[in-house]
Amino acid sequence: MGTHLLLYYFCRPKNTNVRLKLPFVCFAWQIAMIILFGVFVRYNNESDAHWVQNMAQNNITSAIENDFYYRYPSFQDVHVMIFVGFGFLMTFLKRYSFGGVGFNFLIAAFGIQWALLMQGWFHSLDPSTGKIYIGIENLINADFCVAGCLIAYGAVLGKVSPVQLMVMTLFGVTLYAVEEYIILNLLHAIDAGGSMIIHVFGGYYGLAISWVLYRPNLHQSKHLQGSVYHSDTFAMIGTLFLWMFWPSFNSATTYHGDGQHRAAINTYLCLTSCVLTTVAISSLSQKTGKLDMVHIQNSTLAGGVAMGTAAVFMVSPYGALIVGFCCGILSTMGYLYISPFLEKTLKIHDTCGIHNLHAMPGVIGGIVGAITAATASESVYGMQGLINTFDFTGNFKDRTVFAQGGYQAAGMCVAMVFGIGGGAIVGAILRFPIWGDPADENCNDDDVYWEEDQLESVPPILEYCNYMTNKPEDES
């Protein structure tokens, strides 16, 4: 009996009670947001009621020239990707659908606010007034920023507490804003759809955290890993909304006119070819040619990731198809060979396979961007087109396309360093035993953080008997 007590003491279940921690974090951070917004954030010129008066001065003849009309439809598509796309993609686990879509909702809502501030300080701060002026483009960028953290969530899905996720998002957004500033402003790299800034950073950030938080005994909740029929169908909602709206994602912040137009076309094409090679490799990998839902849900999206940097470039339609072709193969191969390797050898458990969907395709996107930038020419772009596409203005007026290619490559390295380094540090912080994370046997289980007094959908016994009676006999 003494042994029992001893055993209990050492093996007692982790304390997953977040009754004080979670509300405290939510309240404290929300109040901080309100104070900081009060001090810093104002409407920008185009969302301020003075805009009509300023129109005449700025030579604007019609309200349709308000940036709102250029960007709002794309913004809403991006918004759907963040909340429904990422959220439902993570409902595939059989007993973690609430955690997938619910915590995604929570951290995205928080991250957006913090991103508006962090990105505002770096990009939209007017030094003369000390204020951040926000408009529709800031909202899109905040959604982008949060996407990096949601990607990272994919690696640790089912294994962390909501408090840990909030901490991860706080640091993730902060790191994102810094690396974004370095890549976009200092290096002046182009990354409209964020292959590097969002996907490489977010992917490695998540993987590094997952590596630090590695659970050697995760097999104790093995019965809750994997999906069931309907949870896989729910996940397809996420997949499809991400897939359909990715052209909006990559074109949302590119320059008006042909820039947005071309970015949408390139992404659309890249994604279509990605679907076909994903199906091909998935089918090849099984003895009887069956398809694996995991591949269809994830690898079909790799093309959108890889087009992020080069979407606005003149990669030409067949170039976009080639990128998608390669990404579908590589990403599916990743699920088949690299994920098991990461888990066994490097001890990185990656619940959603973000290495295959975000990190690797992001690296490809960065490389494609660097090469296509370095080989850009005035004959293909036109002189003004070259200036528009690469924003060769101001300090960067005299940069050559070849140099631009080099800076693009440098940008990718920065993203990777921030992801791995930042993730390792944040992972260490998340190891403190104060965040209410679940025990190994409680991973992937909504019961830990969600109230469920409702019964599962149990068939009334009558229907059950009915079924057994009508059940078709085996014809083996």
Binders of its own copies in range 222-281 (CB under 8 A) = 222-223, 226-234, 236-237, 240-241, 243-245, 247-248, 256-258, 260-262, 264-265, 268-269, 271-273, 275-277, 279-281
Query: Of the two residues 175 and 224, which places its CB atom closer to its own copies in the complex?
Result: 224
Query: Of the two residues 345 and 379, which places its CB atom closer to its own copies in the complex?
Result: 379
Name residues contacting its own copies, limited to 399-458 (CB under 8 A): 436, 441, 448-458
Rg (Cα) of the chain, in Å, rounded?
Answer: 24
Q: How far is the CB of 466 from its own copies (least distance, A)?
A: 6
Binding flag, residue 333, its own copies (CB under 8 A): no
Query: Of the two residues 229 and 345, which places its CB atom closer to its own copies in the complex?
Result: 229
Name residues contacting its own copies, limited to 97-116 (CB under 8 A): 97-98, 101-102, 105-106, 109-110, 112-113
Q: Are strands 41-43 and 131-134 parallel, antiparallel or unpaired?
A: parallel
Among 381, 410, 421, 431, binds its own copies (CB under 8 A): 381
Q: How far is the CB of 96 from its own copies (least distance, A)?
A: 11
Give 254's DSSP letter.
S
38 backbone dihedrals φ, ψ, rounded to 5° = -60, -40
CA distance 382 to 368: 21
Q: How far is the CB of 236 from its own copies (least distance, A)?
A: 5
Stretch that binds its own copies, among 185-193, 194-202, 363-371, 386-394 (CB under 8 A): 386-394
Q: How far is the CB of 417 from its own copies (least distance, A)?
A: 30
Q: How far is the CB of 193 from its own copies (least distance, A)?
A: 16
Among 20, 127, 394, 398, binds its own copies (CB under 8 A): 20
Q: How far is the CB of 242 from its own copies (least distance, A)?
A: 11
- Cα torsion at 118, 163, 146, 90 (round to 10°)? 180
Binding flag, residue 337, its own copies (CB under 8 A): no
Q: How far is the CB of 43 from its own copies (least distance, A)?
A: 6
CA distance 165 to 110: 11
CA neighbor of 205 nearest in space, from 354, 340, 96, 346: 354
Beta bridge partners of 125: 132
Binding flag, residue 145, its own copies (CB under 8 A): no
Binding flag, residue 128, its own copies (CB under 8 A): no
Query: Of the two residues 200 and 281, which places its CB atom closer to its own copies in the complex?
Result: 281
Q: How far is the CB of 416 from its own copies (least distance, A)?
A: 29
Nearest 5 degrees, angle CA 95-CA 98-CA 101? Answer: 125
Length of the chain: 476
Query: Of the two residues 345 and 457, which places its CB atom closer to its own copies in the complex?
Result: 457
User: What residue type is 148 in one-letter code?
Assistant: G
150-162 per-residue burial string, b: 16 or more CB within 10 A, e: under 16: bbbbbbbbbbbbb
CA distance 367 to 305: 12
CA distance 137 to 45: 12
C-alpha dihedral sign at 298, 299, 303, 306: positive
Query: Of the two residues 424 and 450, which places its CB atom closer to its own copies in the complex?
Result: 450
Query: Of the two residues 95 and 349, which places its CB atom closer to its own copies in the complex?
Result: 95
Among 1, 2, 49, 397, binds its own copies (CB under 8 A): 49
User: What residue type is 213 in one-letter code?
Assistant: L
Stretch that binds its own copies, among 65-73, 177-185, 360-368, 394-402 (CB under 8 A): 65-73
The footprint of its own copies on this chain (CB under 8 A) covers a number of residues equal to 161
Query: Of the two residues 377 and 395, which places its CB atom closer to its own copies in the complex?
Result: 377
Are 97 and 234 in contact by the 8 Å Cβ rule? The answer is yes
Q: How far is the CB of 200 from its own copies (least distance, A)?
A: 25
Are 169 and 110 in contact by the 8 Å Cβ rule? The answer is yes
**115: Cβ contacts below 8 Å, ≥ 6 apart:** 141, 142, 145, 146, 173, 176, 177
Among 6, 23, 217, 347, binds its own copies (CB under 8 A): 23
Among 51, 121, 181, 396, binds its own copies (CB under 8 A): 51
Name residues contacting its own copies, limited to 155-214 (CB under 8 A): 162
CA distance 299 to 361: 10
Binding flag, residue 121, its own copies (CB under 8 A): no
Give 199's DSSP letter.
I
CA neighbor of 246 nearest in space, from 226, 224, 274: 274
Binding flag, residue 57, its own copies (CB under 8 A): no
The position carrying tokens 């939510």 is 26
